[in-house]
Structure 1
Amino acid sequence: MSSTTKLSITRWYTTEIQNIMHGFGDSSRPMAESAYLIEEVVHQQMSQLLYEVNNIANIRGSKIVGLEEVLFLMRKDKVKLARLLRYLSIKDLKGKTSKYNQDDNPDDIQSSDLPQLESKYQPSNQPQSKRIKLCYDFISSIDQTGELLSAFNEDFFDEIRHQRNLRMDRMTFNMTKAQYLRYSEARQANFANKEKPKRFKEWLLKNDSQDLKLNAYAWEIFQYLAYETVAEIVDIALLVKQDRQIQDNDPVSGLISSKMRNPDYPMFTVPSFSQKNATAQPKDAGDNDDDISGQSAKRMKIDTTESFATSNSITPCDIREALRRFNQPKGVFSVMEKCYTKSPRVLCL
Structure 2
Amino acid sequence: MVEQMDLPKISYYNEISLMMFGFGDSHTPNPDTVRLVESIVLKQLRIIIHEASKYSDGKKLKGEELVFLLRHNKHKMRRFVRYLMNKQSKYIFQKINLYPADLNTKPLPKSDLMEFIEKIDETGEFTDLSEIDEVKHERQLRADRISQALNEKKYLEFCKARCASFNSRDTTHRSSEKLRLWIDPKGEIIKEYKQDALDILAYFAYQTVADITDYALLVRMDRKSCTSDPLKHLPGSYYTATMFNGEHQFTGSNPDYSKVHSSQPPISVSEIKEVMRRVHSPQAGLLNFGGKVPETHYLFAL
How big is the alpha-carbon RMSD for the aligned residues of Structure 1 and Structure 2?
3.1
Matched, 1:65 2:45: no
Partner Cα distance (1:64, 1:29) in 2 = 39
Aligned to 2:133: 158
Aligned to 1:286: none
TM-score, structure 2 length as denominator?
A: 0.76
Report the CA distance between 1:211 and its aligned residue. 3.5
Partner Cα distance (2:263, 2:30) in 1 = 9
Distance of aligned partners of 1:10 and 1:246 in 2 relative to their CA distance in 1, 3 Å threshold: farther
Aligned to 1:213: 192
The alignment-based identity, stated in percent, is: 30
Aligned to 1:225: 204
SS at match of 1:23: helix
Among 225, 237, 243, the alignment partner of 2:216 is: 237
Report the CA distance between 1:100 and its aligned residue. 4.0
Aligned to 1:141: 119
Higher CA-based Rg: 1
Aligned to 1:19: 18
- Structure with the greater relative contact order (CA < 8 A, sep ≥ 6): 1 or 2? 2
Contact 1:10 1:39 in 2 (8 A): no
Aligned to 1:183: 158
Please give the per-residue CA displacement for 1:156-187, whole angstroms capped at 9, x wherever unaligned: 31110111111111111222111111100111
Please give the per-residue CA displacement for 1:46-67, whole angstroms capped at 9, x wherever unaligned: 0000111111113xxx853222
Among 239, 253, 276, the alignment partner of 1:323 is: 276
Partner Cα distance (2:153, 2:49) in 1 = 40
SS at match of 1:314: coil
Report the CA distance between 1:111 and its aligned residue. 6.2
Matched, 1:128 2:127: no
Partner Cα distance (2:272, 2:213) in 1 = 8
Distance of aligned partners of 1:344 and 1:111 in 2 relative to their CA distance in 1, 3 Å threshold: closer
Please give the per-residue CA displacement for 1:55-93, whole angstroms capped at 9, x wherever unaligned: 1113xxx85322211221101111111111111222222
Q: Which moved more, 1:203-212 or 1:67-76?
A: 203-212
SS at match of 1:148: coil
Name the structure where helix makes up a greater proportion of residues. 1
Aligned to 1:56: 55
Aligned to 1:120: none
Contact 2:61 2:190 in 1 (8 A): no
Partner Cα distance (1:9, 1:45) in 2 = 21
Alignment gaps of 5+ in structure 1: 1-7, 115-126, 261-307
SS at match of 1:325: helix
Alignment gaps of 5+ in structure 2: 1-6, 236-260
Distance of aligned partners of 1:259 and 1:135 in 2 relative to their CA distance in 1, 3 Å threshold: closer
Matched, 1:167 2:142: yes
Matched, 1:46 2:24: no
Report the CA distance between 1:333 and its aligned residue. 7.6
Distance of aligned partners of 1:54 and 1:129 in 2 relative to their CA distance in 1, 3 Å threshold: same
What letter matches 1:34 in structure 2?
Answer: T
Aligned to 2:91: 95
Please give the per-residue CA displacement for 1:194-238, whole angstroms capped at 9, x wherever unaligned: 463211111011365234322111111110110010000001111
Partner Cα distance (2:125, 2:296) in 1 = 29
